[in-house]
Chains A and B, each alone.
Chain A
């Protein structure tokens, strides 16, 4: 469940003018791919996005208001592997300018206000420690208080091993905050991006009123190699891809990047119908 080595998909953010598409193996002009929202114009392969790229193609221009960006983790376990954990964090921070693996804030999509979180796979594999848990739980509580819908773009290898059990407990902490939002009858849309696995997949990423994924996103509990080793089974190529989950009834929809912003706007509009303040039940999802 802990942060795993997830195969690195090529980013388009290098200095190269050309990039090779892992989908069709064709060489594409990098600028052309970027203009196409980092989707291969030939085969539709979805390259991973940075947080800044994701924000810029998702929210209304000028509407992003980040919150809680000053929260940073100490060293709860005094964890040392090849280097001390604080040093690892400092390096990740120096590399991408953020304190941890998620940004949260308020924004608008098609003029509709919402609470929004985007996970940062470039920051220690998007792993969830106490800061990610705290920011997400507080975002849900802010959304509940302000009566805002919530959208999370997830991209994570899972719980952060260097924070031990405390990181695992964040799964429960965020889930409890989602329960409060749900009880307030406010929509939460989970968008699962490549890759979403381990403890993040097994908590808030699967708890949306709607769970939608980008095409080809890896969505998994256990790593493919672990499964191959323990079962000695030949796994299908699309195993644990969004299309595989959709076929098994685990996702509501797969939405291509070009349609994501519009789709979110449309869904939020449909789900935000003003409801009589009357309380009906405790908001539990019937489960038989």
Chain B
């Protein structure tokens, strides 16, 4: 479970440097180096952060329709003094856990479990924290049969209309529709070495250059602009959360401290907004997504064949 981590709720040393902790003159990691850091099996995952940041975590299981998907974890807990709902993707640290968690690739049942927790939070006015960490939703026969597309689509609409504060944290690798199904938030935070992308670098390389060899995958990671500093510039995320020197896995407790501080700082102003304002705030943010890159041209668009 939380093996390899020795993640004690330890006193944490002061954050190393300001934003993007990799300061000490060390060069910033390249895109593919960040992908590797994000995939490091020892990197803290959702359950580790639950353990380090939350009190009285009560896990909620199952979608009450089909099953209990191990790739999605979530429940109720206290964050600081406040009751919150949490949902995250869990990839697993050990081989056994990875198998149990389907390597962090949720099935429709997982997204429906998440939806159930979203609605619970909505009914009782609890702020919602999500932790994104997946290479994508499960591409399997059962997932297609049980409506992977419907489950993801329904979550997108549901999250957009919630009237509670939502803070999403990209803590590892967040890829494709399977990631964004937990990502419709008022504030999106991203750890410095996490990745957030429309497709895995491997998938991108295979489409663009046919062969997903090491060189092409590195190229894909770079052209996809999946790093936190790129996404901050594009307006996809709101804040970069620094990591301990060398990556989150080198000091999980410190990493949790940094993430927890960022969540608290971003959640605070949201708690002052009224329910309708919270939804509107999220809608405005979505409406602006990409709008800066649209321009007007003249065109004679062909109409129907008369």
Of residues 234 through 259 on chain A, the ones whose CB sits less than 8 Å from some CB of chain B are: 235, 239-240, 248-250
SS class, residues of chain A in contact with chain B: mixed
Q: Are B161 and A220 in contact (CB under 8 A)?
A: no
**Shortest distance from the beta carbon of B124 to any chain A beta carbon, whole Å:** 15
Nearest CB in chain A to that of B145: its residue: A248
Q: Are A169 and B290 in contact (CB under 8 A)?
A: yes
Does B33 sit within 8 A of A, measured CB to CB? no
Does B90 sit within 8 A of A, measured CB to CB? no
Q: Are B149 and A205 in contact (CB under 8 A)?
A: yes
Contacts of B45 in A (CB 8 A): none
Q: Give the docked Cα–Cα distance between A223 and B287 (Å).
A: 29
**Shortest distance from the beta carbon of A101 to any chain B beta carbon, whole Å:** 12
- Cβ contact of B144, chosen from A70, A164, A183, A221, cutoff 8 A: A221
Does A167 sit within 8 A of B, measured CB to CB? yes
Contacts of A267 in B (CB 8 A): none
Q: Give the docked Cα–Cα distance between A282 and B282 (Å).
A: 17
Q: Give the docked Cα–Cα distance between A174 and B170 (Å).
A: 22
Q: Are A71 and B161 in contact (CB under 8 A)?
A: no
**Shortest distance from the beta carbon of A76 to any chain B beta carbon, whole Å:** 4
13 A-B pairs with C-beta separation under 8 A: A2-B198, A2-B199, A93-B299, A97-B300, A164-B225, A165-B196, A167-B198, A168-B177, A172-B180, A176-B156, A176-B184, A176-B282, A239-B144
Contacts of B303 in A (CB 8 A): 52, 55, 64, 66
How many chain B residues touch A (Cβ–Cβ < 8 Å)? 72
Contacts of B306 in A (CB 8 A): 56, 61-62
Q: Are B149 and A130 in contact (CB under 8 A)?
A: no
Residue of A52, A178, A199, A248 with most chain B CB atoms under a 10 A cut-off:
A199
Q: Are A203 and B153 in contact (CB under 8 A)?
A: yes
**Shortest distance from the beta carbon of B34 to any chain A beta carbon, whole Å:** 14
Contacts of B224 in A (CB 8 A): 77, 161, 164
Interface 0/1 of B263-306, CB less than 8 Å to A: 00000000000000000001100110111011111111111111
Q: Give the docked Cα–Cα distance between A173 and B301 (Å).
A: 25
Chain A: interface residue count, which band?
A: 35 or more
Interface 0/1 of A136-178, CB less than 8 Å to B: 0100000000000000000000011101111111111101101
Interface 0/1 of A45-73, CB less than 8 Å to B: 00000011101100101101010011111
Does A280 sit within 8 A of B, measured CB to CB? no
**Shortest distance from the beta carbon of A174 to any chain B beta carbon, whole Å:** 8
Q: Are A203 and B152 in contact (CB under 8 A)?
A: yes
- Cβ contact of A74, chosen from B145, B158, B226, B294, cutoff 8 A: B294
**Shortest distance from the beta carbon of B109 to any chain A beta carbon, whole Å:** 14
Nearest CB in chain B to that of A230: its residue: B139
Given A56-B305, A77-B223, A97-B299, A165–B236 Cβ distance below 8 Å?
Answer: yes
- Cβ contact of B236, chosen from A93, A166, A203, cutoff 8 A: A166
Contacts of A133 in B (CB 8 A): 289-290
